[in-house]
Amino acid sequence: MARVEWPVEVVYGAPVPDVRWVRLAPGSSVLDAIRRSGLLDDYPGLDIRARRVGIFGRFAALSDPVKAFDRVEIYAPLPEDPKEGRRRRAAVKSRMSRKCDAGSGAAPRRCAQASPS
């Protein structure tokens, strides 16, 4: 009897995304798909237990089962905490607004956008 295998896509969100297709037996897990893809061999520094993984953009556990044509994703860490990034951008915007109000010679175009006059 022929052995049934499902195609599953595995994607690693490295600086340049690495996409691979593997064939797995029904009942295989996310971890099985990642191991079969060869990504762990090609990226020796990739610690899969320290990364978030998902299926089609939804977080998943390594033990979760995959289905035919699923897209298993290994997420790259964020370059910066989103909350800290918003704080940093807000602080810069606030400083620019104060410079324009004080007439410190900031770029006229920036001041025109910051002030209602």
Tell whether the model's pLDDT for residue 98 goes beyond 90: no
Total-model pTM:
0.67
Among residues 68, 58, 57, 87, the alpha carbon closest in space to that of 24 is found at 68
Please classify residue 114 by burial: count the beta carbons closer than 10 Å to its beta carbon, then call 0-12 exposed, 13-18 middle and 19+ buried.
middle
Could you list the residue range(s) of the whole structural domain that residue 46 is in?
A: 6-74
More confident residue, 112 or 51: 51
Q: What angle do CA 75, 78, 84 make, to 5 degrees?
A: 150
Same domain? 64 vs 92: no
Please indicate whether residue 41 or residue 102 has the higher confidence score (pLDDT): 41
Question: Is the domain of 13 the same as that of 44?
Answer: yes
